[in-house]
Structure 1
Amino acid sequence: MRSILIILFLMLTIISAKSQSAKWQPGRFTDIKGNTEAGFIRVNPSAKGPIKGEGFIEFRENDKTNPFKLSASDLKSFVTGRDSFVVAHAPGNEAWTKNEFDFVKVVINDEIKLYMSRGGKGRKGGIGGSGIGFEPGIGIGTGGYGSGVSGGLSIPIGGGGYGGNEKTIYYYGANTAEMKRLTNENFEDVMTDIMGDEPEVVEKIHAKVYMLANIDRLINYFNQVKAARKN
């Protein structure tokens, strides 16, 4: 009985998050000319995008103005709440099944950045899911585009849904043009480089306390250690 209640609770949480993700959220965008505008952003529009093969958002200044669509090629980045997103092409060795030009979330904004996306992407020749979105409960930045830890809200991007083939995918690189997929094989080396300023965290990476399978816990731990050192 208890397990059934837990499952029902999780289902309701996911449904609630999906419902919230379609709502307008305070945010701002920066266009390709470098202009920034604040207002409200809807990151899961159900309508068709302006340009085929590109993710898009909807924006309005306030609840009295008419919304308009902004395609990925119109933007450099956008922020909703504490979550930051930048525009990216599919890496050269991958094919994104939904949009080849879309948004990725900035998880760690440092010299080597960590990006995250969910679903709709696969290596060339592989099978991808449908749509692009972001894992519930992970909303962590470390400066630059945004900072802090946001909680619990899943934000599907570019009109994507929750397909059965979706999974969280992480990328790393100095920028989106250089980003590569984070894998089990390169995880220890890459995350050591990204989190090298925190020896306590690096030690646990080398001890394999944290791996790709539980990277969300590693990111939380890294931010906790970093915040404690600043205080």
Structure 2
Amino acid sequence: MTANYKNYLPLPALALLFMMLTGQAATAQKWLPGYFIDVKGVKTEGYIYPNPGGSGPFKNEGFISFRDEEKSTPYYLSTSDLQCFVAGRDSFVVAHAPGNETWAKKEFDFVRVAVNSDMKIYATRGADSGGGGGKKVQVAPAVGIGTGTYGTAYGGGLGISIGGGGGSNKSKLSYYYGTNTANMKHLTGENFIDVMSEAMADEPEVVEQIRNHNFGIGNVEKLIAYFNKVKASHSN
């Protein structure tokens, strides 16, 4: 029996179609609708690429790429220019690396509020437990609105990888806690129960799961997702 190939695309056409779809997906992932709030408190809407890679406008500072319109010429914005920005459903604030740490050889960078309460949880990649070492920022899901010393976080959503240098980053996800970015300290296995119970105190069901050791420092992402789910159920 002879196969009928009339309804199939030739291999070169399939390859071209795959490349086009891949390129469209990559573009969609890079540029997200959002806005930034500058150091004067002015809000500007447009499109943001949170992880442009390469060298930014200022040494030792994180930066993003911004377009006023979807197809307009992009320009860079550094931490010196901004209080915060939102890309898609993700919100970021400007923070100074705590203590003697550096973040991807940066003193200032954008960090994401993972849990937004009086005791906030911040998340980054590549930070060590006490100091030194570079990192690129990749944040966990955020919730609500929060104000820190270096800016304000808005909205909430999925994780976006940001930080100088671009590219993929497989370093361990690290968490901080504090009432604002100026007093961030590392979340550890030793302080996990107390800190997360305080940060998630508005949801007793979640706190019970924490104190029953159903979550730990190794699965903070799952805990945050669970917390967000419980929190969202109250608004339905």
**Is the contact made by 2:104 and 2:163 (CA closer than 8 Å) also made in structure 1?**
no
**2:203 pairs with one of 192, 198, 201:** 198
* Alignment partners' CA distance in 2, 1:123 and 1:212: 13
Match of 1:116 among 116, 123, 131: 123
Name 2:168's counterpart in structure 1. Answer: 162
CA RMSD in angstroms comes to: 2.5
Instruction: Report the CA distance between 1:75 and its aligned residue.
Output: 0.8
Question: What's 1:48 paired with?
Answer: 55
Corresponding residue for residue 3 of structure 2: none
For 1:192, the aligned partner's letter is S
- Tell me which amino acid in the other structure corresponds to 1:156: I
- One-letter code of the match for 1:185? E
Residue 211 of structure 1 corresponds to 216
Q: Are 1:132 and 2:109 counterparts? A: no
Residues in 2 aligned to 1:21 and 1:55: alpha-carbon distance in whole angstroms: 22
**CA separation in 1, counterparts of 2:196 and 2:35?**
30
1:12 is matched with none
Tell me what 2:15 maps to: none
User: 2 CA distance for matches of 1:177 and 1:23?
Assistant: 30
Q: Is the 8 A contact 2:141 2:224 kept in 1?
A: no
Q: 1:113 deviation in Å?
A: 1.2
Query: Whose radius of gyration is greater, 1 or 2?
Result: 2
Q: CA offset at residue 124 of structure 1?
A: 5.2
Identify the residue that residue 221 of structure 1 maps to in structure 2: 226
CA-to-partner distance for each residue in 1:151-180, whole Å, 9 max, x for gaps? xx642323343345x111111111111111
The count of corresponding residues between Structure 1 and Structure 2 is 208
CA distance in 1, matches of 2:102, 2:163: 17
TM-score by length of 1: 0.80
Q: Secondary structure at the match of 2:193?
A: helix
2:143 maps to what in 1? 141
Mark the CA change 1:87 to 1:211 in structure 2 (over 3 Å): closer, same or farther: same
Structure 1 counterpart of 2:128, one-letter code: G
SS at match of 1:141: coil
The C-alpha deviation readout for 1:167-217, integer Å capped at 9, x for no partner, is 111111111111111111111110011111211111111111001101111
Task: Summarize the Cα distance change of 1:219–1:69 in structure 2 as closer, same or farther, 3 Å threshold.
Answer: same
8 Å CA contact 2:79, 2:109 repeated in 1: yes
SS in structure 1 opposite 2:208?
A: helix
CA distance in 1, matches of 2:28, 2:105: 19
SS of the residue 1:66 aligns to:
coil
Identity score, percent: 50
Instruction: Report the 3-state secondary structure (helix = DSSP H, G, I; strand = E; otherwise coil) of the residue aligned with 1:114.
Output: strand
- For structure 2, the residue ranges without an aligned partner over 5 or more in a row are 1-21, 147-152
Q: Which residue of 2 aligns with 1:178?
A: 183
**Secondary structure of the structure 2 residue equivalent to 1:185:** coil
Q: How far, CA to CA, are the matches of 1:161 and 1:220 in structure 2? A: 26
Paired residue type of 2:37: T
Matched, 1:60 2:62: no
Q: C-alpha deviations, 1:4-25, integer Å up to 9, x for none?
A: xxxxxxxxxxx99x94686211
Partner SS for 1:94? coil
Contact 2:53 2:167 in 1 (8 A): no
Show structure 1 runs of 5+ residues with no match: 1-14
